[in-house]
Structure 1
């Protein structure tokens, strides 16, 4: 993929005008308060995953409307009685939590790792998911981007972003976790969910958002013809005249808007040849990040020659070092 977006110097200064709905904070305050009526820990049981150096637990927690969400919890073996820092991780589009041995690096680095399954996904890559989405929707195309897209209250990502906030709540309630040392992480869709969780949760110690999806929707839809953003294009190609209604719904779930409310330090990454999450949409989120949360420190890792894979293992290494430094480890 050739360079197609703004030059890097312009990206670094790119702060688009915002189209936040006036009731954004009320919308999310009532949504999260309703979810928190339910006890967050539903079930936690050990799993024999054949791993001697890592302990594994199968977690079910109460997400949106108390609905059950699955997650893997991995930690260094024998540390359940300690108070370790934790990383809550969210997955990319279409993936599921898979098998425990697929994601061991945070546990190997000395953290409790909570890997949230994504409701209704988990059948495109990895070893699959285990969490259904019990909520139906109106007309939609394949994928989840247009499920309930004509009404913010019914939109798919209202449920999934609430799940992300509740995953943070669940991590803080786990035995062996220091609730004051919880960070969030994710790439692509997971990066967008990390921004949402950061904007809707208090007291996080760090946010690691790689090539985040779910940001600056209008520009993303205008720039790329790849899924998942192109799902919105295909929907509007049939439902003519619904564009303003659709983008109004999406404004409640934009990582640019939600990330503005975050107060935790953040490490982002961007790939300048990314044809799935355009660089300008990532920089829109980065440049507005924390502007309503006290302007916390933030860093951007730039991968000039990469597409959506961005830094991959190199970025994981950078995350370990960044979070260790923030926690004095």
Structure 2
């Protein structure tokens, strides 16, 4: 796929006027206050694995609605002092998977927490967290579940789980709360941006090819999934366009970016039809933090920088998390 979006020079200046709900902040304040009224119920259980250089803990914590959410907590074997912490969120359709698939960050000396995504985990990696909340009619997938009302929307639960995941991970004695970063790709990048806007004391965030940014443009620009789920829903539910995009505005990464101030490393691929580059630049250009950078991969699609970007991210996060 050749480049199809705006030219790079135009992307760097692309800063659409945000169309955020007037009660955006109040919506999220109430959501988090309601969740925090319940005990976090964090449990770390040591897991025996064939790994010799990394220790693994099976984690359970109370997310949205007090629902149990799973995760993995990994750290270098033999660690005795608090380590910089990287909290990771998973891409669309996947779950936390198996511990040995998460060796990069603990091998580099970090404590690493991987949050399972409720209701997902049967697309490409297994998950262990159900979503006990029902919803109205939806297009197959997750993107339109509860989309008729922001209070019922699926990603209200997921983003709230993610905030609680950071809080849960920070309670482990080997996690240095003051040196906490969040990262993720695609859906994980969307969750990263949301957490960046909702947790004010993060040391760094690293959203790769993030999803759910400038959503209305994305839906009209690409016919790739998962955004096509929204188009498919509106193709059937005629006349609900305004209501659907009003709900999605509470979850748009552009609006979270405008509230984030931690150092940030973004990435985008200029041939990415899944998360078009203009939607990523919309979030990046609205990002409120002064220490921000976007790495552009001109001939890559949704894989972005792949292992090359992982190496860059390792160096960048090591610098940001050791400076504090």
Task: Compute the TM-score of the two structures, normalised by the length of structure 1.
Answer: 0.97
Shifted more, 275-284 versus 41-50: the winner is 41-50
Cα separation, 1, equivalents of 2:133 and 2:225:
23
Partner residue, 1:238? 236
Give the deviation of 1:175 after TM superposition: 1.8
Cα separation, 2, equivalents of 1:171 and 1:25:
25
Cα separation, 2, equivalents of 1:129 and 1:8:
37
Partner residue, 1:320? 314
Which aligned pairs between 1:71-220 and structure 2 lie closer than 5 A? 71-79=71-79, 81-126=80-125, 128-220=126-218
Cα separation, 2, equivalents of 1:14 and 1:106:
33
Cα separation, 2, equivalents of 1:49 and 1:154:
39
Cα separation, 2, equivalents of 1:210 and 1:184:
11
Cα separation, 1, equivalents of 2:28 and 2:132:
21
Give the deviation of 1:173 after TM superposition: 1.1
Structure 2 segments unaligned to the other structure (5+ residues): none
1:29 and 2:23 are equivalent in the alignment: no
1:299 and 2:297 are equivalent in the alignment: no
Q: Give the 3-state SS of the residue equivalent to 2:317 in structure 1.
A: helix
Tell me the C-alpha RMSD between the 2 structures: 0.9
Give the deviation of 1:269 after TM superposition: 0.2
CA contact (8 A) 1:213 1:277 kept: yes
Once the two structures are superposed, what CA deviation does each residue of 1:105-145 show, in whole Å capped at 9, x if it has no partner?
0000111100000000010102x000000000001011000
Cα separation, 1, equivalents of 2:321 and 2:19:
35
1:8 and 2:8 are equivalent in the alignment: yes
Inter-CA distance 42–325: structure 2 relative to 1 (3 Å threshold) = closer
The total of aligned residue pairs comes to 323
CA contact (8 A) 2:92 2:188 kept: yes
Cα separation, 2, equivalents of 1:90 and 1:123:
16
Partner residue, 2:304? 310
Q: Give the 3-state SS of the residue equivalent to 1:87 in structure 2.
A: strand
| Runs of 4+ residues deviating >4 angstroms | none
Once the two structures are superposed, what CA deviation does each residue of 1:83-103 show, in whole Å capped at 9, x if it has no partner?
111000001000111100001
Task: Compute the TM-score of the two structures, normalised by the length of structure 2.
Answer: 0.98
Give the deviation of 1:104 after TM superposition: 0.6
Structure 1 segments unaligned to the other structure (5+ residues): none
Cα separation, 2, equivalents of 1:41 and 1:255:
29
CA contact (8 A) 2:204 2:321 kept: no
Give the deviation of 1:42 after TM superposition: 2.9
